[in-house]
Structure 1
Amino acid sequence: MTETRDIELTILMPCLNEAETLETCVRKAKGFLDRTGISGEVVVADNGSTDGSQAIATGLGARVVPASRRGYGAALLAGIDQAHGTYTIMGDADDSYDFTRLEPFVERLRTGSDLVMGNRFAGGIEPGAMPPLHKYLGNPVLSFIGQLFFRPGIGDFHCGLRGFNTERIRALSLKTTGMEFASEMVVRSSLARYRIDEVPTTLKKDGRSRPPHLRSWHDGWRHLRFLLLFAPRWLFVYPGLFAFLLGALTVGILSFGGVRIGQIGFDVTTMVYASALCILGFQALLFFWLTKLYATQEGFLPTSERYRRIMSRWTTERGLLAGTVLFLLGVVLGVVQVSQWAALGFGQQDAVDVIRVAIPSSLGIILGFQTIMMSFFSGVLTVPRQDMEPEAVIES
């Protein structure tokens, strides 16, 4: 019997009621190991099958690892945790991926790749193997967004056939238990600056008579949501900065008087909407700051050197000071306006002139107050705890 320490490759299959196709997949995987002479094992991560899948796998010599928690990611996490191989290649147990042609994955892993993704679009997709919605919209759009946000250098972000260095992936402490696990593996590997390669692979129509577990719109949204949450700059910073600067610039210009461009005039009504845009943008930036603080403290996002430099200069007190200054500027503008009104005997004023001053005043008060509250909240998030890593503790 092969010693555990001598196993080079684990072929891992998540399984939930795959009795129709599991035997074929296990036989192909074991045939690949026999043909190539690679020291390996076949592991079936069972997610609570009720159709006898476990007995089929055991009867064919595969090792069954039970995953008590339901979900695609939960099954794979259980399998990865129990894998004995230096490398792991994972693939669905529905006979849609070819377990007899895994040499390109093994070759890349042996040369130092941390993650090797299959590319179904480069290798070939059999007619009927992928719904048109996935082939022409879902996968291309999500792959484009994933490449734009994280730059992993791959063209098929959600291919289910992929190989990886087992210990390197364990070190990422992946957490998601659903279909978004496929995205998390690529995103976290990219953020950790792992070496990610891609090889062509094929996809054929699965051999099941029942519908797949995948739910197109529901799971597509979960993937997109995950990509956005792990890219806070795209979710918060870029739209927030654009809205804040555009709103603040517009309010600043119109504070000195109306502006006409061609036949269109911009005045206090525009100021009202511009101030709302400015506030929304500022809130987005504050949410980015708090999200980044929480995500880095809890280990969801890595901390870059630039982020650590910024945080070394940031204190709750400095945030409170900045917020107080903004708040007081708004109050001073309001006091000046009331003083001018008092000089007129609290009589009737020109509405346009009043609004032109009231908007910057209220904007300063609102932004200042939000900054003060954010500073207190960030102070709560950065209170040193016993379970924190030393580098995660930020003085506040």
Structure 2
Amino acid sequence: MAGVIQPTVDVVLPCLDEAEALPWVLERIPPGWRALVVDNGSTDGSAEIARSLGATVVPESRRGFGAACHAGLVAATADVVCFCDCDASLDPGLLTGFVQKLEAGDDLVLGRRRPKSRGVWPAHARAGNRVLSHLVRRRTGVRLRDLGPLRAARREALLKLDLTDRRSGYPLEMVVRAADEGWRIREVDVPYLPRSGKSKVTGTWRGTFQAVMDMRKVLAR
């Protein structure tokens, strides 16, 4: 549309009751980039806060991390799409370096979380992540140490992967299908900070177990 300035990068932020963290996250979105806050059924006013801070809110009624991520991907219009959790555990400003690596020839850039203090990453969540990283290496040959949510790739290429998981397996499915397509996948270290509020996925053994089961289903397909 004439007169509409297209964002250089879209940042997908899946959101479920993250009112406390949103201001911190959104103020760290790089200038010229667009924040797509995907409201996955929040009841704490997250959507209203996001709009008031200049973000574009994408509603997604179907619950699930993958459902929220994919709704953001579909809503994106920029050539490059980044993903970041909306709980203040990861700084979206770090994504500028990810985009530079895409421009240098990588196809998918992933953040390897490095905890900045004790207790940031619960032992059960780290253990589940190690198991899944090992399974991914066996399945694809790609040597990864984390399947974290901070990542960047080109929108059209991501859409062509035809990702179908709408639960916790979405991040892993992205990596597996990208590897099968011969993508150049790079992992870079990023600081992992204490999150705001309680994790909906890895904050409990049950949540971690469910996430691992979702991802094992992806590997079995």
- TM-score w.r.t. the length of structure 1 is 0.52
User: 1:3 is matched with which residue?
Assistant: 5
Q: CA contact under 8 A between 2:115 and 2:121: conserved in structure 1?
A: no
- C-alpha deviation, 1:2, in angstroms: 5.2
Letter paired with 2:102: L
Do residues 219 (structure 1) and 211 (structure 2) align?
A: yes
Does structure 2 conserve the Cα–Cα contact (< 8 Å) formed by 1:127 and 1:205? no
Which residue of structure 2 lines up, in the alignment, with residue 25 of structure 1? Answer: 25
1:369-380 maps to which residues of 2 (within 5 A)? none
Q: Do the aligned partners of 1:89 and 1:162 also contact (CA within 8 Å) in 2?
A: yes
Q: Which has the higher strand share?
A: 2
Higher relative contact order (Cα pairs below 8 Å, separated by 6+ residues) = 2
Separation in 1, partners of 2:76, 2:208 = 30
SS in 1 for 2:153: strand
Match of 2:107 in 1: 114
Which residue of 52, 69, 72 maps to 1:76? Answer: 69
Identity, % of aligned positions: 33
SS of residue paired to 1:163: strand
Task: Please give the per-residue CA displacement for 1:164-190, whole angstroms capped at 9, x wherever unaligned.
Answer: 111100111111110111111101111
Question: What amino acid maps onto 1:26 in structure 2?
Answer: L
For the 8 Å contact 1:24–1:95, the answer to whether it is kept is yes
**How far is the alpha carbon of 1:132 from its aligned partner?**
1.0
**Alignment-derived partner of residue 16 in structure 1:** 16
How far, CA to CA, are the matches of 1:218 and 1:48 in structure 2?
A: 20
Runs of 4+ in 1 over 6 A off after TM superposition: none
**1:148 Cα deviation after fit:** 1.4
Amino acid of the structure 2 residue aligned with 1:178: R
2:138 corresponds to 1:143: no
- Higher Cα Rg, which structure: 1
> Aligned equivalents of 2:141 and 2:8: distance in 1?
29
The answer to whether the 8 A contact 1:113-1:165 is kept is no
Say whether residues 1:63 and 2:56 are aligned partners.
yes
Match among 106, 122, 143 for residue 131 of structure 1: 122
Paired residues in the alignment total 214
Q: Describe the shift of the 1:125–1:140 C-alpha distance in structure 2 as closer, same or farther (beyond 3 A).
A: farther
Tell me by how many angstroms 1:124 deviates.
Answer: 4.3
1:104–1:199 Cα contact (<8 Å) kept: no
Residues in 1 aligned to 2:91 and 2:8: alpha-carbon distance in whole angstroms: 20
Q: Superposition pairs for residues 141-220 of structure 1, below 5 Å?
A: 141-156=131-146, 158-208=147-197, 211-214=198-201, 215-220=207-212
**Runs of at least 5 residues in structure 1 that lack an aligned partner in the other structure:** 231-396
Residue type of the alignment partner of 1:46: D
The alpha carbon displacement at 1:192 in A equals 1.3
Aligned-partner SS, 2:35: strand
Matches within 5 A, 1:1-396: 3-4=5-6, 7-29=7-29, 33-34=30-31, 39-120=32-113, 123-135=114-126, 137-156=127-146, 158-208=147-197, 211-214=198-201, 215-227=207-219, 229-230=220-221
How many angstroms apart in 2 are the aligned matches of 1:197 and 1:8?
21
Q: Which runs of 5+ in 2 are unaligned?
A: 202-206
> In the alignment, is the contact (CA less than 8 A) between 1:117 and 1:159 conserved in 2?
yes
> TM-score by structure 2 length?
0.91
Task: Check the 8 A contact 1:87/1:165 in 2, yes or no.
Answer: yes
